[in-house]
Chain A
Amino acid sequence: MIYRSQQLALRYFAASMLLFGVMIAAGLLTSLYYLRVGFLLDVFHFSTAKILHIDTLVLWLLMGFLGSVYWFLPLELEREVEWIGLAQKAFWIFVGTVAAVAATLSFVQYGGTSAASLWLINQGRKYVEAPRWACVLIAAVLVLFGVNVVATALRARRMTGILAVLIADLIPLIVLFLNAFSAEPNMSKDLFWWWWLIHLWVEATWEVFIGCVLAWSLLHLLGASRAIVESWLYVEVAMVLGTGILGLGHHYFWIGTPSYWLGIGGFFSALEPLPLLGMVIHAIYDAGAHRHQILNRPAFAWLLAEAFGNFLGAGVWGFMMTLPQINLFAHGTQWTASHSHFAFWGAYGCAVISVIYLVLQKIRAGRGDFESQAWKWAFALLNIGLVGMSSALLIAGMAQAFYERAIGGSTFQAFLTAQANRWMTEGLQARVLFGLVFTLGYFVLLYDFWKIGKGRRAPETTLRKEASG
């Protein structure tokens, strides 16, 4: 390891994995509330467990993304990242902020109807519950990250296609986060802008961001040609943005926005599987074209899982419920939770794990043996657990949409009837079982991260021979 930036990347990956564990623990806890009425009543609120689950979801992925860029950027520009000392301090600020917010939300949760509550305790907006002081610091960390990237490119007097796309993406990544500070009292207006943060971050800026990270991964994992990777990146970014930006409209269906959003949102979000299918074709092509050059099978397996998981979770699961006539009943049920679990995992979770395996190989094994039994177990348990959870939630969600919304007309009585329905209760029980499988996979993954490739570095002479050959 040469660069301080790459040491920082390792810290980000460690923090990311820790938060991944917190997300799983909070998710398991959340799933138990559905099985036992009154579970932890007045001890630990359902809403707190849920907040921890969904906020750590965003944070473990975000930390994984930042770590990936801090790893690849010095390799791309062949120099240390500018202002790396500040970036290292910013990491600790980020971690300290997350810990303080988790403690605040766990022990205080909410305050009175005053500005002080917004600033110090909870903003009360899903996914951005963190109080404002924390959002200010997180925004500052993101700005510094952007400055790191741009300043390093300027100092290196070098620009690559992947880097240009990443820099262009940093602008919306930071600007859209400013939506976290809104205090709009009109709920429709608030939700209108809130979705710009939630949806556009995830289905536009994050998609582009992970596209850049995966492009770098392909260069380093498969030795793919830069011209090919960059050309494909441009095409995929254009297609994903073309469908993803106005696909935002499917969140505008039932929040008081004009009805033309039904057509716009339905049309563009229903197109989203097509670019994802293109990614699947690309992944299969690469698997064949580079099959003899793959030295890091775990990283490549997770890369393939990303392509297929993204298509299934975001594409197929999304297509099932995105047309307005169906979405009217499905929106906000366990059906949505099923889609979001699968889509986040496929689009981002698998990619972050793939990059971590790539990095571990570089620092531990070089071109030496990088293989284990544990990675296969982790891969199988995590993916079976996730597909099982998503399927169980899909069954519960369909039952909920059917009995509570379509038949019952969304009354309180219909809500209670649906909650007691056998399809729903058994679906939620199955979700807990598959959640346990997923948790087991997480521990095997951690074990493998700890062990894989250690002491397997190929001798220098072999490396020299390979280099000269």
Chain B
Amino acid sequence: MKPEELLFASLLLGVFALAGGAYGSFFAIGKLGRSRLLLFTSRVFFGLQAVLCLVLLRVSTLHLGWKLFLVASLLGYAVVPPLAWSALESLHGKEKGKS
């Protein structure tokens, strides 16, 4: 890895994870407030994350294995918020049913 690529790749990786966090946070707040605007914003952040992933795949000199890992990781970010949300709703629903 060339010196310039070190900073470029690490910053992109940081923003990649940050965009994933923003996607999850806006998704959850949007679900909570039933706000279409916030849910749309969450998708914008996921889109940004996907674009960053694409840039890392095309431009960075990370090894192929790590590039594949990034794609898998992007899929992980895509499914964690909706899965966690539905698991929480299902747990709370069951508890309400019991009481």
**A interface vs B, CB < 8 Å?**
225, 227-228, 231-232, 235, 263, 266-267, 270-271, 273-274, 277-278, 280-282, 284-285, 287-289, 308, 311-312, 315-317, 319-321, 323, 325-326, 328-330, 398, 401-402, 406-407
Minimal Cβ-Cβ distance residue in A for B87:
A235
Contacts A225-B95, A231-B91, A281-B80; A323 near B13 (Cβ below 8 A) = yes
Q: B80 near A274 (CB under 8 angstroms)?
A: yes
**Most A C-beta atoms less than 10 A away, residue of B9, B10, B13, B14:** B10
Q: B32 near A398 (CB under 8 angstroms)?
A: no
Contacts A227-B95, A312-B21, A402-B6; A281 near B14 (Cβ below 8 A) = no
Minimal Cβ-Cβ distance residue in B for A281:
B84
Contacts A273-B17, A311-B21, A320-B14; A326 near B1 (Cβ below 8 A) = yes
Q: B10 near A281 (CB under 8 angstroms)?
A: no
Q: A402 near B32 (CB under 8 angstroms)?
A: no
Contacts A280-B24, A284-B28; A406 near B6 (Cβ below 8 A) = yes
Q: How far is the CB of A409 from chain B (nearest CB, A)?
A: 10
CB 8 Å contact bits of B23-57 with A (1 = contact, 0 = none): 01101110011000000000000000000000000
Q: A316 near B18 (CB under 8 angstroms)?
A: yes
Q: How far is the CB of A278 from chain B (nearest CB, A)?
A: 5
Please give, as numbers and ranges, the residues of chain A lying within 8 Å of B9 by CB-CB distance: 325-326
Contacts A281-B84, A282-B88, A284-B32; A320 near B10 (Cβ below 8 A) = yes
Q: B84 near A316 (CB under 8 angstroms)?
A: no
Q: How far is the CB of B5 from chain A (nearest CB, A)?
A: 9
Roughly how many angstroms separate A316 CA and B73 CA in the complex, as a whole number?
Answer: 13
Minimal Cβ-Cβ distance residue in B for A407:
B3
Shortest beta-carbon contacts, A-B, top 9: A406-B3, A288-B32, A320-B14, A284-B28, A281-B84, A319-B17, A316-B17, A225-B95, A228-B91
Please give, as numbers and ranges, the residues of chain A lying within 8 Å of B14 by CB-CB distance: 316-317, 319-320
Chain A residues touching B, majority SS: helix
Please give, as numbers and ranges, the residues of chain B lying within 8 Å of A225 by CB-CB distance: 92, 95
Q: A329 near B25 (CB under 8 angstroms)?
A: no
Contacts A228-B92, A231-B91, A273-B20; A325 near B28 (Cβ below 8 A) = no
**B interface vs A, CB < 8 Å?**
1-3, 6-7, 9-11, 13-14, 16-18, 20-21, 24-25, 27-29, 32-33, 61-63, 65-66, 69, 73, 76-77, 80-81, 84-85, 87-88, 91-92, 94-95
Q: A273 near B21 (CB under 8 angstroms)?
A: yes
Roughly how many angstroms separate A330 CA and B28 CA in the complex, as a whole number?
Answer: 33
Contacts A228-B92, A284-B25, A325-B1; A277 near B80 (Cβ below 8 A) = yes
14 new A-B pairs (CB below 8 Å) besides A270-B73, A277-B80, A284-B28? A228-B91, A271-B73, A271-B76, A274-B77, A280-B25, A281-B85, A282-B88, A284-B25, A308-B25, A319-B17, A320-B11, A323-B66, A325-B1, A328-B1
Roughly how many angstroms separate A330 CA and B81 CA in the complex, as a whole number?
Answer: 30
Q: A326 near B92 (CB under 8 angstroms)?
A: no
Pick from A227, A274, A319: contact of B13, CB below 8 A: A319
Roughly how many angstroms separate A101 CA and B70 CA in the complex, as a whole number?
Answer: 46
Q: B95 near A228 (CB under 8 angstroms)?
A: yes
Q: How far is the CB of B59 from chain A (nearest CB, A)?
A: 14
Roughly how many angstroms separate A330 CA and B85 CA in the complex, as a whole number?
Answer: 35
Q: How far is the CB of B86 from chain A (nearest CB, A)?
A: 10
Q: How far is the CB of B48 from chain A (nearest CB, A)?
A: 14
Roughly how many angstroms separate A116 CA and B29 CA in the complex, as a whole number?
Answer: 59
Q: A281 near B73 (CB under 8 angstroms)?
A: no
Please give, as numbers and ranges, the residues of chain A lying within 8 Å of B84 by CB-CB distance: 277-278, 281-282
Roughly how many angstroms separate A289 CA and B85 CA in the complex, as a whole number?
Answer: 12
Q: What are some 18 contacts across the A-B interface (CB < 8 A)?
A: A225-B92, A231-B91, A266-B66, A274-B73, A277-B20, A281-B24, A281-B88, A284-B32, A285-B32, A312-B18, A315-B21, A320-B11, A320-B13, A323-B66, A398-B7, A402-B3, A406-B2, A406-B6
Q: B6 near A326 (CB under 8 angstroms)?
A: yes
Q: B81 near A277 (CB under 8 angstroms)?
A: yes
Please give, as numbers and ranges, the residues of chain A lying within 8 Å of B95 by CB-CB distance: 225, 227-228
Please give, as numbers and ranges, the residues of chain A lying within 8 Å of B76 by CB-CB distance: 271, 274
